[in-house]
Amino acid sequence: MSDHVFATLRRWPDVEAPNLFAVDASDRLILDEAESQLADLQPGELVVMGDNYGALTLGAAALAGCRGIRVFQDSLVSELALASNAGDLVDRYESHTLNGSLLSGARVVLMQLPRSLAELDEWAQAIARHAAPDVTVIAGGRLKHMTLAMNDVLARSFNEVNAGRARQKSRTLTALGIRHDNDGQRYPTTSVLREPELPVDELTVSAHGGAFAGATLDIGTRFLLTFLPEMKADAGSAIDLGSGTGVLAASLALARPGLNVVAIDQSIAAVASTRETADANGVEARVEAAREDALTERPAASADLIVCNPPFHTGATVHAGVALRMLADARRALKPGGELWVVFNTHLGYRDYLNRTVGPTRQAGRNSKFTVTVSVRA
């Protein structure tokens, strides 16, 4: 397919850099592999999942004339990038969450393979549950991020999984034939954490497939939780920025009965997991889960306390810019005297940046891998 469709695609509002691209060879390969199927589709029969910045959706619309495309992007940043890139094709697609309205009657699904096997499993199970019996799934990715386990995961929901030929360090997997012996709904998963760092004896965690760390306690959050007693004692409002499964948000609410927490994440899976974790621990009245792009939707001077365990990658690329972008607006969102607590891999060295953008920043603690800092808004 012609490259002219992709020439103007941008990653914005995601991090942009000379070595980061809005379209790659796997996007082109997926569209090429699907070309014959796309030609015969009626409006509403195509679903696109995991489209990073719009290449799959807009490629199908512009090059194959597809209409009524239903799109699922777990990432709000990806959703915003697609909308920004769409231009005159904005009426060709609709954004959906992961449910029957996305997949009912779908005959072709184009998918950028997610990195997480659990996320792929949840997507595949949803397709098998809701799509048309003759659905064809064409999923692709870069070879360096693909594993044979992806074939096995797809085989849990489909009778036939075929690997295509590699091209430009990319490959597709085609799944056909919905399995009717699929073993029931597997997501969300739940677990009960019993950890000394937690403010309660037991914390129930709910996790959808795309939520970071699943229903476990990741080591960065574990370290940050040890500083919970030191965080602003008189805080009445807090933000858990990048909430994941909601462990920090629920822990704050449980430790401080007078505290209201807004748990923000750009991921649909994370927001759903956070909401379910809050419900499971009886703090749903004081934990609001919101799908937002960093702090851009938060009013000025609205929080006494912000806690953050930021990611260190954008998509599959390790890049500090994604965390810095998340934290850039913290000073505006904090009330004067408010505190920002951040945990990060020590080698990333965010302290100078926090000093410049938020306020005086000190190291609260450090172990063999992580540093925790606290910044105070002047």
d(CA 18, CA 123): 32
Pairing label, strands 136-142, 108-112: parallel
Q: Residues 46-95: pLDDT tens digits?
A: 999 999 999 999 999 999 999 999 999 999 999 999 999 999 999 999 99
Maximum CA extent, the chain: 63
Count of other CB atoms within 10 angstroms of residue 159: 12
List beta partners, residue 265: 291
Taking the CA atoms of residue 34, residue 35, residue 40 and residue 45 in that order, the dihedral angle to the nearest 10 degrees is: 40
- Please state, for a pLDDT cut of 90, what percent of the chain lies above it: 89
- Residue 325: the pLDDT is 85
Pick the range with the lowest mean pLDDT from 183-187, 199-203, 227-231, 316-320. 316-320
Q: Residues 219-271: pLDDT tens digits?
A: 999 999 999 999 999 999 999 999 999 999 999 999 999 999 999 999 999 99
**Amino acid present at 193:** L
List beta partners, residue 288: 262
Contact 266, 75 (CB under 8 A): yes
**Amino acid present at 210:** G
Give which of 133, 145, 181, 170 is closest to 56, Cα–Cα.
170
Surface-to-core class of residue 98, CB atoms within 10 Å of its CB (0-12 exposed, 13-18 middle, 19+ buried) = buried
d(CA 137, CA 124): 9
Count of other CB atoms within 10 angstroms of residue 94: 12
Q: Residues 328-363: pLDDT tens digits?
A: 999 999 999 999 999 999 998 899 999 999 999 999
d(CA 139, CA 114): 9
Instruction: Provide the token pair at 323.
Output: 């965390």
Question: How does DSSP assign 71-87, residue by residue?
Answer: EE-SBHHHHHHHHHHHG
Residue 61's φ and ψ, nearest 5 degrees, are -70, -45
Give which of 131, 116, 280 is closest to 209, Cα–Cα.
116
Within a 13 Å sphere around the CA of 122, how many CA atoms are in the beta-carbon half?
23
- Residue 378: the pLDDT is 86
- Return the SS3 of 113: coil
Surface-to-core class of residue 272, CB atoms within 10 Å of its CB (0-12 exposed, 13-18 middle, 19+ buried) = buried
d(CA 276, CA 208): 10
d(CA 186, CA 376): 43
Question: How does DSSP assign 82-109, residue by residue?
Answer: HHHHHGGGGGGEEE--SSHHHHTT-SEE
d(CA 137, CA 134): 10
Sequence-ordered list of residues with C-beta below 8 angstroms from that of 332, at least 6 positions apart, any chain? 295, 300, 301
Contact 107, 132 (CB under 8 A): yes
Summarize the confidence of residues 84-109 as an average pLDDT.
Answer: 97
Of 269 and 181, the structure prediction assigns the larger pLDDT to: 269
Sequence-ordered list of residues with C-beta below 8 angstroms from that of 285, at least 6 positions apart, any chain? none
- Return the SS3 of 174: strand
- Return the SS3 of 363: strand
For the chain, give the mean pLDDT.
94
| DSSP H or E segment with residue 332 | helix 330-333
The pTM is what? 0.94
